[in-house]
Amino acid sequence: MNDIGLLILRGFAGALMFFGHGLTKFQSLVSAGEIKFADPIGLGATLSFTLSTFAEFLCSTLLVLGLFPRISAGALIINMFVAGIIYHSPDAFSVKEKALIYLVIFVSLFILGAGKYSLNKFLPSKYQKF
């Protein structure tokens, strides 16, 4: 049952992140329009947006599939930490709540891995720990 729970958690959190955040960011990134995005850690708006898009689009997709779940969850942890703890620090709790919930889910998946219902299990054993 634990592996089914991990599949559900991975699938829903990853899909919600992909469709709720990643897909629109990816479409904005490839549209070649002007990027207007926050720069909470001083990397520049374009790089911050690109890294956020990478996490929310690609890493959430990999998480749903169960490919490299710890690497994917790690990128999403960094993204949600920056969003929830740094960028939204002056905001009310209700504003940062969603980012913090995602953060806890991704930390849990980082610790637990993908479970047995994942594509990671088809990789050579030396890569399955990622």
Per-residue model confidence as pLDDT tens digits over 103-114: 999 999 999 999
* pLDDT above 90 for 124: no
What's the whole-model pTM score?
A: 0.91
Per-residue model confidence as pLDDT tens digits over 38-73: 999 999 999 999 999 999 999 999 999 999 999 999
Nearest-5° Cα angle at 74, 46 to 63: 95
Q: What pLDDT is stored for residue 35 in this prediction?
A: 86
